[in-house]
Structure 1
Amino acid sequence: MIRLAHTADLPAPTRTLLDTAFEGDFADTDWENTLGGTHALAFAGTELIGHAALVQRRLLHGGRVLRAGYVEGVAVHPDHRRRGHASALMTALERLLPGYDLGALSAAEEAVPLYEGRGWRQWRGPTFALTPSGIQRTEEEDGGVYVWPARAPLDLDGELTADWRAGDVW
Protein backbone atom coordinates (compact mmCIF):
# COMPACT_ATOMS: atom_id res chain seq x y z
CA MET A 1 0.00 0.00 0.00
CA ILE A 2 1.29 3.48 -0.92
CA ARG A 3 0.30 6.52 1.11
CA LEU A 4 1.16 10.17 0.43
CA ALA A 5 2.10 12.38 3.35
CA HIS A 6 3.57 15.81 3.96
CA THR A 7 6.83 16.03 5.89
CA ALA A 8 4.87 17.06 9.00
CA ASP A 9 3.07 13.71 8.94
CA LEU A 10 6.00 11.34 8.43
CA PRO A 11 5.94 8.24 10.61
CA ALA A 12 8.73 8.07 13.19
CA PRO A 13 10.66 5.18 11.55
CA THR A 14 11.18 7.03 8.23
CA ARG A 15 14.77 8.15 8.95
CA THR A 16 15.64 4.68 10.27
CA LEU A 17 14.29 3.10 7.07
CA LEU A 18 16.45 5.42 4.95
CA ASP A 19 19.56 4.69 7.03
CA THR A 20 18.93 0.95 6.65
CA ALA A 21 18.13 1.08 2.94
CA PHE A 22 21.20 3.20 2.15
CA GLU A 23 23.36 0.96 4.37
CA GLY A 24 24.55 3.81 6.58
CA ASP A 25 25.39 6.08 3.63
CA PHE A 26 22.56 8.54 4.29
CA ALA A 27 23.94 11.74 5.83
CA ASP A 28 22.05 14.29 7.89
CA THR A 29 22.15 16.63 4.87
CA ASP A 30 20.59 13.87 2.73
CA TRP A 31 17.77 13.65 5.28
CA GLU A 32 17.34 17.43 5.32
CA ASN A 33 17.09 17.44 1.51
CA THR A 34 14.14 15.00 1.62
CA LEU A 35 12.10 17.25 3.90
CA GLY A 36 9.57 19.94 3.07
CA GLY A 37 7.56 18.24 0.38
CA THR A 38 5.35 15.29 -0.36
CA HIS A 39 6.44 11.79 0.61
CA ALA A 40 5.29 8.51 -0.90
CA LEU A 41 5.37 5.79 1.75
CA ALA A 42 5.13 2.05 1.11
CA PHE A 43 3.74 -0.24 3.78
CA ALA A 44 3.56 -4.00 4.23
CA GLY A 45 0.70 -4.17 6.71
CA THR A 46 1.67 -1.53 9.26
CA GLU A 47 5.43 -1.78 8.61
CA LEU A 48 7.04 1.10 6.67
CA ILE A 49 9.12 -0.54 3.93
CA GLY A 50 9.63 2.18 1.31
CA HIS A 51 10.00 5.93 0.88
CA ALA A 52 10.40 8.55 -1.84
CA ALA A 53 10.06 12.33 -1.54
CA LEU A 54 9.17 15.10 -3.97
CA VAL A 55 10.50 18.52 -2.98
CA GLN A 56 10.36 21.78 -4.90
CA ARG A 57 13.60 23.17 -6.25
CA ARG A 58 14.59 25.86 -8.73
CA LEU A 59 16.62 24.88 -11.78
CA LEU A 60 18.02 27.23 -14.39
CA HIS A 61 17.86 26.21 -18.04
CA GLY A 62 17.82 28.11 -21.31
CA GLY A 63 17.66 31.48 -19.58
CA ARG A 64 14.61 30.44 -17.54
CA VAL A 65 14.01 29.64 -13.89
CA LEU A 66 12.07 26.38 -13.70
CA ARG A 67 10.00 25.01 -10.81
CA ALA A 68 11.18 21.43 -10.45
CA GLY A 69 9.60 18.58 -8.57
CA TYR A 70 12.85 17.01 -7.34
CA VAL A 71 12.82 13.36 -6.27
CA GLU A 72 14.82 12.48 -3.15
CA GLY A 73 15.35 9.53 -0.83
CA VAL A 74 13.97 6.72 -2.99
CA ALA A 75 14.53 3.65 -0.83
CA VAL A 76 13.07 0.24 -0.12
CA HIS A 77 14.03 -1.88 2.88
CA PRO A 78 16.48 -4.61 1.75
CA ASP A 79 14.06 -7.38 2.81
CA HIS A 80 11.37 -6.04 0.44
CA ARG A 81 13.30 -5.21 -2.74
CA ARG A 82 12.56 -6.47 -6.26
CA ARG A 83 8.82 -6.63 -5.65
CA GLY A 84 7.71 -3.44 -7.42
CA HIS A 85 7.70 -1.14 -4.38
CA ALA A 86 10.11 1.41 -5.90
CA SER A 87 7.98 1.55 -9.05
CA ALA A 88 4.83 2.08 -6.96
CA LEU A 89 6.54 4.89 -5.02
CA MET A 90 7.60 6.56 -8.27
CA THR A 91 4.11 6.20 -9.77
CA ALA A 92 2.69 8.08 -6.80
CA LEU A 93 5.19 10.93 -7.15
CA GLU A 94 5.04 11.10 -10.96
CA ARG A 95 1.31 11.73 -10.68
CA LEU A 96 2.22 15.06 -9.02
CA LEU A 97 4.75 16.19 -11.64
CA PRO A 98 2.28 17.95 -13.98
CA GLY A 99 2.16 20.67 -11.30
CA TYR A 100 5.82 21.52 -12.01
CA ASP A 101 7.77 22.73 -15.02
CA LEU A 102 9.73 19.46 -14.93
CA GLY A 103 10.70 16.60 -12.69
CA ALA A 104 14.35 15.96 -11.85
CA LEU A 105 16.50 13.60 -9.83
CA SER A 106 20.04 12.40 -9.40
CA ALA A 107 20.23 8.66 -10.06
CA ALA A 108 22.53 6.17 -8.41
CA GLU A 109 23.95 3.88 -11.10
CA GLU A 110 21.99 0.85 -9.87
CA ALA A 111 18.71 2.82 -10.10
CA VAL A 112 19.13 3.99 -13.71
CA PRO A 113 17.16 1.04 -15.19
CA LEU A 114 14.21 1.86 -12.91
CA TYR A 115 14.11 5.52 -13.97
CA GLU A 116 14.80 4.96 -17.67
CA GLY A 117 12.17 2.23 -17.77
CA ARG A 118 9.62 4.71 -16.44
CA GLY A 119 10.39 7.38 -19.05
CA TRP A 120 12.87 9.55 -17.16
CA ARG A 121 15.42 10.98 -19.58
CA GLN A 122 19.12 11.42 -18.95
CA TRP A 123 20.36 14.99 -18.97
CA ARG A 124 23.20 14.90 -21.50
CA GLY A 125 24.38 18.47 -21.13
CA PRO A 126 26.71 19.97 -18.53
CA THR A 127 25.49 20.50 -14.97
CA PHE A 128 26.18 23.38 -12.63
CA ALA A 129 25.24 24.64 -9.17
CA LEU A 130 24.33 28.16 -8.13
CA THR A 131 26.60 28.40 -5.07
CA PRO A 132 27.12 31.26 -2.58
CA SER A 133 30.24 32.19 -4.57
CA GLY A 134 28.55 32.01 -7.98
CA ILE A 135 27.77 29.38 -10.59
CA GLN A 136 30.14 26.41 -10.41
CA ARG A 137 30.49 23.39 -12.67
CA THR A 138 29.42 20.01 -11.24
CA GLU A 139 31.14 17.68 -13.72
CA GLU A 140 30.93 14.70 -11.36
CA GLU A 141 27.13 14.83 -11.75
CA ASP A 142 27.12 14.84 -15.55
CA GLY A 143 25.24 11.82 -16.84
CA GLY A 144 23.61 11.14 -13.46
CA VAL A 145 20.82 13.71 -13.63
CA TYR A 146 17.47 12.60 -15.06
CA VAL A 147 14.45 14.68 -15.95
CA TRP A 148 10.76 14.10 -16.45
CA PRO A 149 9.64 16.60 -19.08
CA ALA A 150 6.43 18.31 -18.05
CA ARG A 151 5.49 21.82 -19.15
CA ALA A 152 8.84 23.44 -19.95
CA PRO A 153 10.57 22.86 -23.27
CA LEU A 154 13.96 21.25 -22.56
CA ASP A 155 17.20 20.91 -24.50
CA LEU A 156 18.71 17.78 -22.90
CA ASP A 157 22.12 18.78 -24.30
CA GLY A 158 21.98 22.28 -22.82
CA GLU A 159 23.21 23.55 -19.47
CA LEU A 160 21.29 22.79 -16.29
CA THR A 161 21.96 24.62 -13.03
CA ALA A 162 20.62 23.60 -9.63
CA ASP A 163 19.83 25.91 -6.74
CA TRP A 164 22.18 25.75 -3.76
CA ARG A 165 21.65 23.52 -0.75
CA ALA A 166 23.77 21.81 1.88
CA GLY A 167 25.17 18.36 1.14
CA ASP A 168 24.80 16.91 -2.34
CA VAL A 169 23.71 19.71 -4.65
CA TRP A 170 22.18 17.24 -7.11
Structure 2
Amino acid sequence: MDPSPPPMPLLPSLVLRVAHTAELSPDIRAIIRELLDLTFDSDFNDDDWDHALGGLHTLAFLEERLVGHAALVQRAFLLGEVPQRVGYLEAMGIHPDCQRQGIGRAIMERINHQVAWGYDFGALSTSAAGLGLYRSCAWEVWQGPLSVMTSLGLRATPEEEDGVLVYAPAGGVDLHLSLTCEFRRGDVW
Protein backbone atom coordinates (compact mmCIF):
# COMPACT_ATOMS: atom_id res chain seq x y z
CA MET A 1 0.00 0.00 0.00
CA ASP A 2 1.40 3.36 -1.04
CA PRO A 3 1.48 5.69 1.99
CA SER A 4 1.26 8.76 -0.26
CA PRO A 5 -1.76 10.98 -0.15
CA PRO A 6 -4.44 10.47 -2.83
CA PRO A 7 -3.98 12.11 -6.24
CA MET A 8 -4.64 15.82 -6.12
CA PRO A 9 -3.90 18.86 -8.24
CA LEU A 10 -0.49 20.33 -7.40
CA LEU A 11 -0.27 22.85 -10.22
CA PRO A 12 -3.18 24.02 -12.36
CA SER A 13 -4.70 20.74 -13.61
CA LEU A 14 -1.63 18.61 -12.66
CA VAL A 15 -2.55 15.28 -11.09
CA LEU A 16 -0.09 12.70 -9.74
CA ARG A 17 -1.01 9.04 -9.58
CA VAL A 18 1.05 6.23 -8.09
CA ALA A 19 0.78 2.63 -9.22
CA HIS A 20 2.87 -0.51 -8.97
CA THR A 21 4.14 -1.97 -12.24
CA ALA A 22 1.64 -4.84 -11.85
CA GLU A 23 -1.22 -2.31 -11.90
CA LEU A 24 -0.19 -0.69 -15.19
CA SER A 25 -2.09 -1.84 -18.26
CA PRO A 26 -0.13 -2.69 -21.41
CA ASP A 27 -1.50 0.52 -22.97
CA ILE A 28 -0.22 2.79 -20.17
CA ARG A 29 3.13 0.97 -20.19
CA ALA A 30 3.42 1.72 -23.91
CA ILE A 31 2.54 5.39 -23.30
CA ILE A 32 5.16 5.64 -20.53
CA ARG A 33 7.80 4.09 -22.78
CA GLU A 34 6.93 6.53 -25.60
CA LEU A 35 7.25 9.45 -23.15
CA LEU A 36 10.66 8.22 -21.97
CA ASP A 37 11.92 7.65 -25.52
CA LEU A 38 10.88 11.21 -26.37
CA THR A 39 12.27 12.71 -23.16
CA PHE A 40 15.64 11.00 -23.51
CA ASP A 41 15.83 11.68 -27.27
CA SER A 42 16.06 7.96 -28.13
CA ASP A 43 18.82 7.43 -25.51
CA PHE A 44 16.55 5.18 -23.45
CA ASN A 45 17.07 1.50 -24.19
CA ASP A 46 15.44 -1.81 -23.24
CA ASP A 47 17.78 -2.24 -20.24
CA ASP A 48 16.79 1.22 -18.97
CA TRP A 49 13.12 0.25 -19.33
CA ASP A 50 13.70 -3.06 -17.54
CA HIS A 51 15.35 -1.19 -14.64
CA ALA A 52 12.17 0.88 -14.21
CA LEU A 53 9.87 -2.12 -13.78
CA GLY A 54 8.91 -3.87 -10.56
CA GLY A 55 8.35 -0.90 -8.29
CA LEU A 56 6.17 2.18 -7.84
CA HIS A 57 5.52 4.49 -10.78
CA THR A 58 4.64 8.10 -10.14
CA LEU A 59 2.74 9.41 -13.15
CA ALA A 60 2.06 13.10 -13.80
CA PHE A 61 -0.97 14.03 -15.89
CA LEU A 62 -2.01 17.39 -17.29
CA GLU A 63 -5.63 17.20 -18.42
CA GLU A 64 -5.39 13.38 -18.70
CA ARG A 65 -2.20 13.57 -20.83
CA LEU A 66 0.86 11.82 -19.39
CA VAL A 67 3.60 14.43 -19.08
CA GLY A 68 5.90 12.97 -16.43
CA HIS A 69 7.08 9.69 -14.98
CA ALA A 70 9.44 8.32 -12.36
CA ALA A 71 9.86 4.80 -10.99
CA LEU A 72 11.11 3.88 -7.54
CA VAL A 73 12.42 0.32 -7.41
CA GLN A 74 14.04 -1.59 -4.58
CA ARG A 75 17.74 -2.41 -4.88
CA ALA A 76 20.24 -4.00 -2.51
CA PHE A 77 23.27 -1.85 -1.67
CA LEU A 78 26.15 -2.03 0.76
CA LEU A 79 26.84 1.10 2.80
CA GLY A 80 30.37 0.37 3.89
CA GLU A 81 29.85 -3.29 4.70
CA VAL A 82 26.25 -3.01 5.93
CA PRO A 83 23.40 -4.19 3.64
CA GLN A 84 20.80 -1.54 2.87
CA ARG A 85 17.35 -1.59 1.25
CA VAL A 86 17.44 1.30 -1.20
CA GLY A 87 14.67 2.98 -3.16
CA TYR A 88 16.37 3.61 -6.49
CA LEU A 89 14.97 6.28 -8.79
CA GLU A 90 14.69 5.19 -12.42
CA ALA A 91 13.24 6.58 -15.64
CA MET A 92 12.55 10.10 -14.39
CA GLY A 93 11.35 12.07 -17.37
CA ILE A 94 9.18 15.08 -18.17
CA HIS A 95 7.75 15.70 -21.63
CA PRO A 96 10.02 18.27 -23.39
CA ASP A 97 7.08 20.68 -23.87
CA CYS A 98 6.34 20.63 -20.13
CA GLN A 99 9.78 20.94 -18.56
CA ARG A 100 10.66 23.68 -16.07
CA GLN A 101 7.06 24.10 -14.93
CA GLY A 102 7.32 22.40 -11.53
CA ILE A 103 6.25 18.92 -12.66
CA GLY A 104 9.62 17.35 -11.85
CA ARG A 105 9.61 18.95 -8.41
CA ALA A 106 6.08 17.65 -7.74
CA ILE A 107 7.14 14.14 -8.74
CA MET A 108 10.25 14.35 -6.55
CA GLU A 109 8.20 15.42 -3.53
CA ARG A 110 6.13 12.25 -3.95
CA ILE A 111 9.29 10.14 -4.46
CA ASN A 112 10.85 11.59 -1.31
CA HIS A 113 7.72 10.62 0.62
CA GLN A 114 7.92 7.06 -0.73
CA VAL A 115 11.61 6.78 0.20
CA ALA A 116 10.94 8.04 3.72
CA TRP A 117 8.20 5.47 4.27
CA GLY A 118 9.72 2.42 2.63
CA TYR A 119 13.52 2.41 2.43
CA ASP A 120 16.73 2.92 4.36
CA PHE A 121 17.50 5.73 1.89
CA GLY A 122 17.04 6.69 -1.75
CA ALA A 123 19.63 6.74 -4.51
CA LEU A 124 19.84 7.72 -8.16
CA SER A 125 22.32 8.33 -10.95
CA THR A 126 21.97 11.53 -12.94
CA SER A 127 23.49 13.54 -15.73
CA ALA A 128 24.48 17.17 -15.27
CA ALA A 129 21.06 18.15 -16.69
CA GLY A 130 19.15 16.66 -13.75
CA LEU A 131 21.56 17.59 -10.98
CA GLY A 132 19.94 20.93 -10.13
CA LEU A 133 16.46 19.48 -9.69
CA TYR A 134 17.61 16.64 -7.46
CA ARG A 135 19.85 18.87 -5.33
CA SER A 136 16.96 21.33 -4.87
CA CYS A 137 14.84 18.42 -3.58
CA ALA A 138 17.29 17.53 -0.77
CA TRP A 139 19.25 14.82 -2.61
CA GLU A 140 22.99 14.94 -1.90
CA VAL A 141 25.93 14.01 -4.10
CA TRP A 142 27.70 10.88 -2.84
CA GLN A 143 31.24 11.73 -1.66
CA GLY A 144 32.70 8.29 -0.98
CA PRO A 145 33.98 5.58 -3.32
CA LEU A 146 31.47 3.79 -5.54
CA SER A 147 31.55 0.19 -6.71
CA VAL A 148 29.45 -2.64 -8.07
CA MET A 149 29.29 -6.22 -6.78
CA THR A 150 30.05 -8.57 -9.69
CA SER A 151 30.52 -12.33 -9.89
CA LEU A 152 34.26 -11.63 -9.65
CA GLY A 153 33.94 -9.38 -6.59
CA LEU A 154 33.83 -5.62 -6.17
CA ARG A 155 34.65 -3.43 -9.18
CA ALA A 156 35.22 0.28 -8.60
CA THR A 157 33.05 2.68 -10.63
CA PRO A 158 34.90 6.00 -10.39
CA GLU A 159 33.31 7.17 -13.65
CA GLU A 160 30.09 7.64 -11.66
CA GLU A 161 31.61 10.18 -9.24
CA ASP A 162 29.52 13.35 -8.95
CA GLY A 163 26.56 11.59 -10.58
CA VAL A 164 25.24 9.39 -7.77
CA LEU A 165 22.95 11.13 -5.30
CA VAL A 166 21.19 9.95 -2.16
CA TYR A 167 18.19 11.06 -0.15
CA ALA A 168 18.27 10.13 3.53
CA PRO A 169 15.41 11.90 5.32
CA ALA A 170 16.19 10.24 8.66
CA GLY A 171 19.86 11.18 8.39
CA GLY A 172 22.52 8.81 9.57
CA VAL A 173 24.04 8.13 6.14
CA ASP A 174 27.73 8.96 6.03
CA LEU A 175 28.27 10.26 2.50
CA HIS A 176 31.98 9.44 2.70
CA LEU A 177 31.63 5.68 3.20
CA SER A 178 31.88 3.30 0.28
CA LEU A 179 28.62 2.62 -1.57
CA THR A 180 28.20 -0.60 -3.53
CA CYS A 181 25.28 -1.56 -5.77
CA GLU A 182 24.38 -5.01 -7.04
CA PHE A 183 25.21 -5.92 -10.63
CA ARG A 184 22.56 -5.70 -13.35
CA ARG A 185 22.46 -5.61 -17.16
CA GLY A 186 23.08 -2.22 -18.73
CA ASP A 187 24.08 0.71 -16.55
CA VAL A 188 24.81 -0.58 -13.06
CA TRP A 189 24.10 2.85 -11.51
**Alignment TM-score > 0.5, same fold:** yes
Aligned to 1:26: 44
Asked whether the equivalents of residues 101 and 152 of structure 1 are also in contact (C-alpha less than 8 Å), the reply is no
Distance 1:139 1:152 in 2: 25
1:136 aligns with 155
Specify which structure has the bigger relative contact order, considering alpha-carbon pairs within 8 angstroms and separated by 6 or more residues: 1
Matches within 5 A, 1:1-170: 1-10=15-24, 11=28, 12-98=30-116, 99-151=118-170, 153-170=172-189
Post-superposition shift, 1:153?
2.5
- Taking the aligned partners of 1:90 and 1:152, their CA distance within structure 2 comes to 18
Out of 31-40 and 142-151, give the one that drifted further: 142-151
1:90-146: CA deviations, max 9, x gaps? Answer: 111111112211110011111111011111111011100001221101111011110
- Paired residue type of 1:122: V
Give CA-to-partner distance per residue, 1:16-72, whole Å, 9 cap, x none. 110000000001000000000000001111211110000000110122000001001
Secondary structure at the counterpart of residue 97 of structure 1:
helix
Structure 1 unaligned spans of 5+: none
Runs of 4+ in structure 1 deviating by more than 3 angstroms, as ranges, are none
Given the two structures, how large is their TM-score scaled by the length of structure 1? 0.96
Identity score, percent: 45
By how many angstroms is 1:2 displaced?
A: 0.7
With normalisation by structure 2, the TM-score equals 0.87
1:95 match: secondary structure: helix
| Contact 1:58–1:67 (Cα < 8 Å) also in 2 | yes
Let me know the Cα RMSD of the aligned residues.
Answer: 1.1
Q: Which runs of 5 or more residues in structure 2 are unaligned?
A: 1-14
